[in-house]
Structure 1
Amino acid sequence: MQVSGVKGQQFGVKGKVLDIETYQPISGVSIKIANTQYATSTDNAGEFSLTLPEKPGEYVLVSTFVGYNTDSTAFNLEQKTWEFVPVVLVNANSTLEEVVITRRREHISEAALLAERKASNLMVEKIGAQELSRKGVGDAASALAKMSGVSRIEGTSQVYVRGLGDRYNTTSFNGLPIPSNDPERKNIDLDLFTTDIVEYVAVDKVYSNYMSGDFAGGNVDIASKRYSGDGMLEVTIGSNTNTNVLDQWDNFYLQQGPTRSGFVNYGVPNDPLGGFNFQNSLNPKKQTPLFGNIGIRGGKSFVLGMGSRLNLFAVANYTSDYNYREGVNRELSAGGNRIKDLDQIRYGYVTNTTGMLNAEYVLNPNHKFSYNFLFINSSDQSADRYSGFIRDMAENGQGIIQRNTFRQSKLFVNQILGNHLLSEKIDLDWGLSYNNVTSGMPDRTQNTMGINDQLGYRVLLQNQPADNHRYFQDLTETELAFNVAAHYKLGDNDQGRISLGYNGKIKDRDFEDFQVNFRIPSAGRQQRIDLNDLDAFFNPDNFNQGVFRSEGFTLDLPQTYQGKQDIHAFFANGEYKLTDRLTGMIGLRYENITQTIDYATVLDRSGRPNTFKRNSLLPNLILKYELNEKQNLRLGASKTYTLPQFKERAYFRYIDVTETRVGNPDLYPSQDYNLDIRWEMFPRASELLSVTLFGKYIVDPMNEVTFASSANDVSYMNTGDWGAVYGAEVEIKKDVFTFDNGDSKLSVGGNAAYMKTDQELSAEKVRSETIYNLNLTHDRAGFTGASDFLMNADLSFTKKWNNESDIVATVLYNHFSDRLYALGTEGKGNQIDRGLGTLDFILKYKVNRKFGVDLGARNLLDPTYERIQDNTDVPVTILSYKRGIRFSLGFKYNL
């Protein structure tokens, strides 16, 4: 913050601060005129300006920033002139005389991100690599769950920001959009982004028109890790185990087909209905649950002459993990009568293979280009066994449903970005991306069995052919995106700037699934079945003899849909320093949106297109008032929208064990109005105290609800005219005490959010706007996935010695209160996930410059995850299980 001088000031000093190794601007640098009260800090572009009194002469500019050597630069001022002073800061761990970079500075340190947050005119929150490491966070989804107002649904990729789930949030990678890997979701699974490739994770909870207008909860931006320095090569290896898995060490079963690597190449067989010619066995495969991770990353910078530099950074890693759980899984009627009352056992195995390359070419301090390549292969397989009561099939409690699921996703990301300083007042940023994602479920199997009371042994059960089936699913999506923004600085004293830009996104999705149902005549249902040897029944000989038959969907054709989405946006934004302390940002964004879906499904074979078009004008306002050098008061207000997703509007049915989802072609976008007020204080470089009040008003909110049908299917609907979210967030970071001349420190951190969600529910609105009949149990409800109270807390002890070694020990606690899982219909009560708390302990020991050890103990309290159905008499548990305590050990070695 600038300290004001004499009224009528007409000259001063301005400049730009760069990292001497990378030519990158540094935000949040403290700028001061020696032996005076005049001070300021650099903005997001690393620039500063400081008005001085009319006193020509020699001054000394002192620049300080955490992790860099202090710089003192002398300059002379002539009367009534402005002096431009370029400043370069040297990494505190660099020895430039020997041109040896001993350790890359972490610009994403907690103190650096706090300094950036303090200086920024935008209201954005970031968690960087240093904090992620300290908290033992392994992926971007877990990182978000450590931030205020953000929660994650256990066992899924869903992240809720301020009580708003998948459809209300967006995800980007280096500021450019990225497609989803799951046809059920709008956003990509953030578990895929391991912290090895993440520089920081940012959450914009307050809208600015640089972002897509499809915004309500927040925008998550993942910044890829970069490197600058003489060279580094690091190898990591580790393993982890789970107490639940250890109990099943000699009795762990998965399906046949998928490999430990997570890569497969099989799919729908040729002529799947003409014979039984499937590649994989139906018999379970016993597997020893050995798992772990291995990775390598390296970087190097090359000085090319004439001020040019090339920075390279690459990562390759592989992780795998086994999991096991057991508990109850029930489906109940409105009166609490059993539809399915099952004990569930799940064996699971997940893998993640990641490769990333970043190439950054710095032509000179004014021009920079970068290319980012990312490849991720992820796999997730589960072998589920449900046993117990199944209405109309196994009412003696001896029913068994075996369901084996394997999903593989491949993501390719290609990005080219440029930053150009065209003149002292004009700069230009642009980015181009081409992304491709393929996701497949190549051979999901399901079989239903039970003890026949008359025969006295286990047989196959069937109410409909789909009770025994094999299922295949394929999704391919391509996305082309382009961003460009030009900025013009106002005034000679950098009073503000005007920005103009364009964002474009063209997305194409192709989806196909095919299910082979096995119709079993009564004679076949008399045969004895061994649930561990289903191949004895399902084999080519029995198929050829007519013991069972194969059939597909209606007309024995696959279900398909094709989705196209074109969004073209133009925006204008103005920032201006209205007074010495008040800065305003006002912007307007125009978006032209077209979304088309063509589908041919069991429910509708017509294949007719389903299209909607929108033209949206989206204003936004952000104000920042600097109360003093350490405190800011901010306000943000905006209008945005929320789009329905492809599969939500495709008239398509997806069948799971306990529920069936159906698309709604009449679903349409919501309109969102957002307001935030925030006070924040930065007592020291590493400390923060922040309080935020927020509110959102949503017109025509969308929900997942059960509609009136014989199967109680779930669909997506605009369930009312309005919805509202409001609440408060508190953040704190505090150094409790330091000793050993600052080499030892005990620090605490935490955040909490209290919020309320409310929405109108109108069955009449649904019946008048859609093809569905709906009978809701209540006429008001909260938003699904929203907890009233969220809390994160951490306590860290850090000790450094010998300038080479350090140890960091952190205890973390997370808590969320009860949250709504599904709205009640047809007299059923709401389904609610019970709140719980988790406790983790992380220890990181850097032995020396080359060697480090990481220890982790997670989920130490091992709470019970429980979902209840809030019936009229007493709540009934419909889902319950424990995850087990997880221990991990890892080693790092720098070559």
Structure 2
Amino acid sequence: MNKRQFNTFSIVVLILMLFTSGLTFAQNAKITGKVVDKANGETLIGLSVGIEGTTKGTLTDVEGRFTLGGLAAGKYNLTFKYLGYQPKTITAVDVKTGQVTTLDVQMEQSATQALKEVVVTASYRQETVGALYARQKNNISISNGISSDQIKKSPDRNTSEVLKRVSGTSIQDNKFVVIRGLSDRYNSTLLNGAVLPSTEPDKKAFSFDIIPSNLIDNLIISKTASPELPGEFAGGVIQVVTKDIPDQNYVSLSVGAGYNTQSTFKDFNLGEKKSGEFLGFANSARDIPRGVPNTVEFRISGAQEKINAGKLFDNSFNTKSSKGLPSQNYQLNLGFQKRFENEGKLGLIFSLSQRNGESISSSERYDYESNYKQFDFNDKIFKYSTSSGALLNLAYVKGNNKIALKNLYNISLDNSYTSRYGVQFAEQDSIRGNSLDLVSKSLLNNQLEGDHKLNWKDIKVNWNLNYSYTERDQPDLKSLNYRLDYDQGATKYEAIVPNGTASRTDASRFFSNMTEDSYGGAFNFTIPFNLFDEKSTAKLGVLKQYKLRDFAARKFGYIRSSYGAFDQDMLYLPMDKIFEDQNLNLNGFIMDEGTENADKYDATSDLNAGYIQFDNKIGSKTRVIWGVRLEDSYQLVNTFDPSGNKLKVENTYLDILPSLNLTYSLNNKTNIRIAASQTVTRPELREMSRFGFFDYISKRILQGNPDLKRSQNTNLDFKYEIYPSNGQILSFSAFYKNFQNPIEQIVSSGNGGKNVSFQNANSANTYGFEIEARKNLNFLGDQDYLKNLTVYTNASFIISTVNLNSLVSEVTSRALQGQSPYLLNAGLQYASPKNDMAFSLLYNKIGSRIAEVGYEGYADIYEKGRDMLDFQISKNFSKRFELKLNVSDILNQKQIFYQNNDNKKTYDASKDNLMNAVKYGSGISLALKYDFSLGK
């Protein structure tokens, strides 16, 4: 933990201690909820809420929320009154001792200004159903979402698991989101309205497994653009809103453990685990030792000085054997609220989480050149993964004003060892390879935000100031290979230690660190007005996001000494003995440095945006949201060209991004939506640098391309949606997208090997359709279990083509890199309110897609889709104790990458070149949660 992270963590802990001191859990029952306009979903601020027959009442706050506390058990009738709206009474609201009853209400505008209005009356159950319709139908863009109420009924533990349930969405690697089959580069992520940075150093992606699901207030994926949303996306904008003021005080603790069929209790080999690393922090003992000269001095050092420097490094080319341990996860959640006599309320939510596990994956890996096999490897990858996270949200609300401070911190660590054996056919060598790697990644996000309603013209103002810090530390990536030169009659494996200069692939040690600071702010104004006797709004705002990134790497490696009589016998020493201090001498090995000028870069990104958006009603059935967004972006990367000369890469773009969303309501349950927009996709800073990273697993160098341009995207959408009853939906969507200069990941040949890089295609087109259905099975009979059983499915089918005019190395057309031709989700869910039991059976699959674009003589590499089947069951006992069982990846199919040689849509083992096949094992986990809240 660096000084900046430590200071922030200390402030968070201090706030928590001060705020929670003296607080107790309340036993009184409460009714809480949110009030919105039925026509457009806007929150109603300052609305009067009362209990019929009493003087007890309150007003809705700036978020449209209300709380009626201090209630005895029983049934109550609630009244809702607001100027310009028909008064409403909700009957039979059932309140139980020590519990919170949630009631969301939608109000209808008055058709007349007469003094005497008709009072609308509805039951508690009817109003709950109506509020759900309002949330789903009144989104201004074509979108899908999940509310906190739906999340409570699912066994999902983090946001990535929640996202699996959203239509047209799938999850890769249990954390990265894929929308409409497009790769993660085409998505943007907002946390509480602020743009989040990528959690990955080499691509634009956010790891959604870091946010606990029970802290989410709502989650929305917008698939069409609107002026208020970021303009940099084509798949979707994922908007995650975390809770800030809880309905009641609570403390809960959950503990879980998991078993993997392929890893747990199996023989497990790993490099050293150092103190503190179970929390996710890389121990500083792994860093380049003090006393090692800087790069310039190292290059001019004499042989003995390099030998002395080499002895400063630990001899950590070794592994320890044990048995694979079950995975573990722990989570502590606290929620507190305090109300003041002045009607203000203060709320706090705090969460600590820790997860760790050990896994073993077995991989077959091959490579081909003009259909001739280059190598045949069998890899066994042992990995210890751990992550720790903390969330602290603090908010104060009084009347028309709200101020909130929201903080998120997560750090993760992967410590892995790869054992390899196989054959390199070109060199006619048998290979035994070893690689030890450790990577620590952290994300810190702080936000200060405010919501206000001005008395003048009922103008609403919201603002956000945010800061994010991202770090990726990779200390001491080590690789050492042994070979048996069988065509020369060799009988023993000898270590591959180069002569002359250090290698990035053999007997190497690699150190890198990347940090990024991101500063942002946004201000938005919503102004109501009347147009054609209908209520309308104008919304305008500005945004700024400024990033500073710094990356540096150093490459070291052992070489054979040329200053004496090199002792050849040293090459036959085992991995843990070969580089001991006594073997670093003038007749043995010398530490050398192979760092190049391009092994570092720094970068700046500056985005300034402004927009104006109108929300108009045309008659009683048509709603139009239209406007324009202006984004001025600047990217600067200071890197080096292949000759080592300084290279300044600059991109400046001014993008005008119009959008239109039109909704026509056929009736109260049916919408027709049409949308059109212009968006962009900019290259990541890493993708424009010349830094080349050698990936031991794939035996390739990942290198950026300074010539990348942004992609300009045109999007057209149509959707027909029906909401027949509570929680049920039937919808059909069609879409078309045109990409100018889409960015793709490619494979190229050079330097005696293969590189992975990025380039712009000329253009691409994508079109397809989506179907979504969710239906309760009570129509099959009156049995209770049918009423509690729901089946759902959603499917996306996409066709994409790339114009290859600018790619002279390719000779045929193909699909867009990363684009899946189809995506399927299906599930069966059961939830019983009587016995508090729930289960779900989930299925997911994506179609085969191009993972890497090849070149002439080297076919494109496809990822084959896998059938993923998960089962989850949960049971609550006495409202306090919850038990969850999860069985993941039941089918345990191989993840396969292949070169498609027959141009068919499926993998054929007899014709296609298998490039990589990995099995991960099925998982079984059990989690226990206990709620200490006295209010339960």
Q: TM over 0.5, yes or no?
A: yes
Which region of structure 1 is more displaced relative to structure 2, 135-144 or 301-310? 135-144
Q: What's the counterpart of residue 915 of structure 2? A: 878
Q: TM (normalized to structure 2)?
A: 0.82
State which of 786, 795, 805 in structure 1 corresponds to 2:828. 795
Deviations 1:435-455 (A, max 9, x none): 111111112111111235555
Q: 2:664, 2:671 within 8 Å by CA — same for their partners in 1?
A: yes
State which of 283, 289, 303 in structure 2 corresponds to 1:269. 289
- What's the CA shift for 1:212? 1.6
Q: What's the counterpart of residue 113 of structure 2? A: none
Q: What's the counterpart of residue 235 of structure 1? A: 253
Q: What's the counterpart of residue 55 of structure 1? A: none
Which region of structure 1 is more displaced relative to structure 2, 861-870 or 633-642? 861-870
Q: What's the counterpart of residue 9 of structure 1? A: none
Separation in 1, partners of 2:131, 2:918: 41
What percentage of aligned pairs have identical amino acids? 23
Q: What's the counterpart of residue 421 of structure 1? A: 453
Q: 2:463, 2:522 within 8 Å by CA — same for their partners in 1?
A: yes
Q: 2:227, 2:613 within 8 Å by CA — same for their partners in 1?
A: yes
The one-letter code matched in structure 2 to 1:560 is: K
Structure 2 counterparts to residues 263-302 of structure 1, below 5 A = 263-266=281-284, 267-270=287-290, 271=292, 274-279=309-314, 281-290=316-325, 291-302=327-338
SS at match of 2:317: coil
Structure 2 counterparts to residues 429-828 of structure 1, below 5 A = 429-453=462-486, 454-462=489-497, 465-466=503-504, 467-491=506-530, 495-520=535-560, 523=566, 526-527=569-570, 529=572, 533-554=574-595, 559-600=599-640, 603-657=642-696, 658-709=699-750, 710-720=752-762, 722-737=763-778, 745-762=788-805, 765=806, 775-776=809-810, 778-801=811-834, 805-828=835-858
Q: 1:844, 1:855 within 8 Å by CA — same for their partners in 2?
A: yes
Separation in 1, partners of 2:76, 2:920: 49
SS at match of 2:632: strand
The one-letter code matched in structure 2 to 1:751 is: N
State which of 234, 241, 249 in structure 1 corresponds to 2:266. 249
SS at match of 1:783: coil
Q: 1:728, 1:755 within 8 Å by CA — same for their partners in 2?
A: yes
SS at match of 1:536: coil
Separation in 2, partners of 1:21, 1:695: 48
Q: 1:44, 1:120 within 8 Å by CA — same for their partners in 2?
A: no
Structure 2 counterparts to residues 357-436 of structure 1, below 5 A = 357-364=392-399, 366-393=400-427, 395-396=428-429, 398-423=430-455, 425-436=458-469
The one-letter code matched in structure 1 to 2:188 is: T
Separation in 1, partners of 2:447, 2:143: 23
- What's the CA shift for 1:351? 1.3
**2:876 aligned with 1:846:** yes
**2:184 aligned with 1:151:** no
Deviations 1:118-175 (A, max 9, x none): 12223221134454565543333343343333334448x5433223223222112111
State which of 335, 344, 354 in structure 1 corresponds to 2:389. 354
Q: What's the counterpart of residue 140 of structure 1? A: 159
Which region of structure 1 is more displaced relative to structure 2, 861-870 or 636-645? 861-870
Residues 857 and 547 of structure 1: CA distance in aligned 2, closer, same or farther (over 3 Å): same
The one-letter code matched in structure 1 to 2:403 is: F
Q: 1:815, 1:835 within 8 Å by CA — same for their partners in 2?
A: yes
Which region of structure 1 is more displaced relative to structure 2, 656-665 or 539-548? 539-548
Separation in 2, partners of 1:110, 1:83: 24
Deviations 1:402-459 (A, max 9, x none): 1122111121111011111113531111111011111111121111112355552221
Residues 422 and 815 of structure 1: CA distance in aligned 2, closer, same or farther (over 3 Å): same
Deviations 1:84-121 (A, max 9, x none): 578798996756xx8x54577899x9996654121222
- What's the CA shift for 1:71? 5.3
Q: 1:93, 1:102 within 8 Å by CA — same for their partners in 2?
A: no
State which of 351, 355, 375 in structure 2 corresponds to 1:319. 355
Which region of structure 1 is more displaced relative to structure 2, 263-272 or 857-866? 263-272
The one-letter code matched in structure 1 to 2:494 is: V
Which region of structure 1 is more displaced relative to structure 2, 534-543 or 590-599? 534-543
- What's the CA shift for 1:560? 1.1
Separation in 2, partners of 1:321, 1:90: 51
- What's the CA shift for 1:264? 2.2
**2:927 aligned with 1:890:** yes
Which region of structure 1 is more displaced relative to structure 2, 129-138 or 384-393? 129-138
SS at match of 1:143: helix
Separation in 1, partners of 2:91, 2:418: 57
Q: What's the counterpart of residue 135 of structure 2? A: 116
Separation in 1, partners of 2:104, 2:439: 36
- What's the CA shift for 1:543? 1.6
Structure 2 counterparts to residues 180-219 of structure 1, below 5 A = 180-219=198-237
SS at match of 1:861: coil
The one-letter code matched in structure 1 to 2:760 is: N
The one-letter code matched in structure 2 to 1:141 is: S
Q: 1:798, 1:808 within 8 Å by CA — same for their partners in 2?
A: yes
Separation in 2, partners of 1:75, 1:472: 65
State which of 821, 835, 854 in structure 1 corresponds to 2:865. 835
Separation in 2, partners of 1:279, 1:88: 74
Q: TM (normalized to structure 1)?
A: 0.85
Q: 1:418, 1:429 within 8 Å by CA — same for their partners in 2?
A: yes
Residues 317 and 554 of structure 1: CA distance in aligned 2, closer, same or farther (over 3 Å): closer
How many pairs align? 819
Deviations 1:797-843 (A, max 9, x none): 22222xxx500011111122221112221312221112221111110
Separation in 1, partners of 2:141, 2:33: 20
Q: What's the counterpart of residue 9 of structure 2? A: none
Separation in 1, partners of 2:413, 2:103: 34
Q: What's the counterpart of residue 4 of structure 1? A: none
Residues 553 and 350 of structure 1: CA distance in aligned 2, closer, same or farther (over 3 Å): same
SS at match of 1:618: strand
List alignment gaps of at least 5 residues for structure 2: 1-28, 48-59, 69-74, 106-127, 294-305, 903-909
Residues 588 and 525 of structure 1: CA distance in aligned 2, closer, same or farther (over 3 Å): farther
Q: 1:134, 1:810 within 8 Å by CA — same for their partners in 2?
A: no
Over aligned residues, Cα RMSD in angstroms? 3.2
Residues 877 and 524 of structure 1: CA distance in aligned 2, closer, same or farther (over 3 Å): farther
The one-letter code matched in structure 1 to 2:288 is: V
